[in-house]
């Protein structure tokens, strides 16, 4: 395209962006990256390994080369370092399975009704969207997203600090896969963690606690975070990727419940997609708001000043903002007293 005149390039790129998602999904479903890692680097060999057609594989692999997942030299395909790390079964950091949640039909359908969601100001699929009681999407979430959450969980556990020889009572609200509480349990040998979520989701968290070898310090509190008695007192309440599903009054009442469940000197740890007050940077946190519009009645990607106000209204003495590089999420540490 000419650098000078106006260009419809962004329009085309965006109108066809969904094709990128489908190409990635096809590659993961066909185990294409894994087979390249195993040495099947030509279209002919890949087709045999994937149980697919050679022309089909050639066109798909060329496409994946253009969008950046592969390199092509002569007739051979090679993985980029990122693809080798995150998209092959040989790698412990493989996140390919997270497509099972990210492209779950429940979420995908919400986006096909996005125009209606903009008209309405909230999800157009149902009254409550994905946060409806016992929505099975959260079991898919708990199962699929654990590998992607390993690194944020370890970084969040690093924010806990304190004396690892002392007891630490932890409540993991809307635990999902349970990885955040489990990471704290691994980091603090004297931590006792209570994971709160719907029973069908907690089964996934319990399995992950077993794999991590912390089952004896990982306890289950089944039910809705809004209805169940949180017990306590706790030294730490974790609220990870939960506030974004709700409106400000709901979040204030959740934070109040956290404040009440904390012992004096206790802290609430919030993990979130927190855009700058301009709401258009950084991109991963800023764009997340659209997913909340599409999938929930009143959720949002809240800014730190908004969280500060909510948590102050709930009684917290002060809140601290933390980036968690290299992840694209942010954290808030809020002090009860």
Q: C-alpha distances in angstroms, 73 versus 24, 46, 79?
A: 21, 15, 11
260 belongs to the binding site for a copy of itself (CB under 8 A): no
324 binds a copy of itself (CB under 8 A): no
Helix (H) or strand (E) holding 272, with range, is: strand 262-272
Q: Which of residues 123-162 bind a copy of itself (CB under 8 A)?
A: 148
Scanning 112-120, 158-166, 215-223, 310-318 for contacts with a copy of itself by CB under 8 A, the matching segment is 112-120
Query: Quick one: which H or E segment has residue 300?
Result: none
- Buried b / exposed e along 21-60 (16+ C-beta atoms within 10 A): eebbebbbebbbbbbbbeebbbbebbbebbebeeeebbeb
The count of residues interacting with a copy of itself (CB under 8 A) is 85
Query: Smallest gap, in angstroms, from Cβ of residue 148 to a copy of itself?
Result: 7
Spatial distance between the Cα atoms of 322 and 140, rounded to a whole number of angstroms: 29
Span from 1-9, 173-181, 192-200, 251-259 in contact with a copy of itself (CB under 8 A): 1-9
Which residues inside 275-294 make contact with a copy of itself, applying CB under 8 A? 278-281, 283-284, 286-287, 289-294
- With binding defined as CB under 8 A, does residue 241 bind a copy of itself? no
Segment contacting a copy of itself (CB under 8 A): 130-138, 183-191, 219-227, 323-331?
Answer: 323-331
Instruction: Give the CA distances from residue 189 to residues 152, 263, 277, 306, in Å, rounded to whole numbers and listed in that order.
Output: 19, 20, 38, 34
Q: How far is the CB of 139 from a copy of itself (least distance, A)?
A: 19
* Residue 148 or 236 with smaller CB distance to a copy of itself: 148
Which CB atom, from 118 or from 199, has the smaller least distance to a copy of itself?
Answer: 118
Give the dihedral sign, CA 301/326/168/214.
positive
225 or 289, CB closer to a copy of itself?
289
Which residues does residue 262 pair with via DSSP β-bridges, in sequence order? 234
């Amino acid at each position: 395209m000419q650098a000078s005149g106006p260009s419809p390039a962004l329009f085309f790129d965006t109108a066809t962006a969904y094709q990128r998602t489908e190409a990635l999904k096809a590659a993961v479903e066909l185990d294409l990256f894994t087979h390249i890692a195993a040495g099947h680097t030509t279209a002919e060999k890949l087709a045999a390994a994937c149980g697919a057609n050679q022309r089909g594989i050639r066109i798909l692999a060329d496409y994946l080369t253009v969008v950046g997942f592969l390199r092509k030299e002569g007739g051979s395909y090679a993985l980029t370092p990122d693809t080798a790390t995150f998209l092959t079964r040989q790698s412990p950091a493989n996140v390919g399975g997270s497509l099972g949640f990210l492209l779950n039909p429940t979420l995908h359908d919400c986006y096909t009704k996005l125009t209606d969601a903009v008209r309405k100001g909230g999800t157009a699929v149902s009254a409550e969207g994905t946060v409806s009681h016992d929505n099975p999407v959260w079991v898919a979430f708990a199962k699929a997203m654990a590998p992607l959450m390993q690194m944020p969980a370890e970084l969040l556990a690093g924010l806990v600090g304190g004396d690892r020889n002392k007891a630490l009572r932890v409540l993991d609200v809307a635990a999902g896969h349970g990885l955040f509480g489990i990471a704290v349990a691994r980091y603090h040998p004297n931590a006792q963690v209570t994971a709160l979520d719907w029973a069908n989701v907690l089964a996934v968290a319990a399995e992950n606690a077993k794999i991590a070898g912390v089952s004896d310090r990982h306890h289950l509190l089944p039910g809705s975070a809004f209805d169940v008695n949180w017990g306590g007192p706790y030294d730490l309440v974790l609220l990870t990727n939960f506030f974004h599903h709700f409106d400000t009054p709901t979040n204030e009442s959740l934070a109040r419940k956290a404040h009440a469940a904390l012992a004096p000197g206790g802290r609430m740890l919030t993990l979130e997609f927190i855009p700058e007050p301009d709401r258009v940077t950084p991109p991963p946190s800023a764009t997340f708001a659209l997913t909340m519009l599409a999938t929930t009645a009143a959720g949002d990607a809240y800014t730190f000043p908004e969280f500060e106000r909510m948590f102050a209204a709930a009684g917290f003495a002060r809140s601290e903002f933390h980036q968690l590089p290299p992840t694209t999420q942010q954290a808030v540490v809020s002090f009860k007293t």
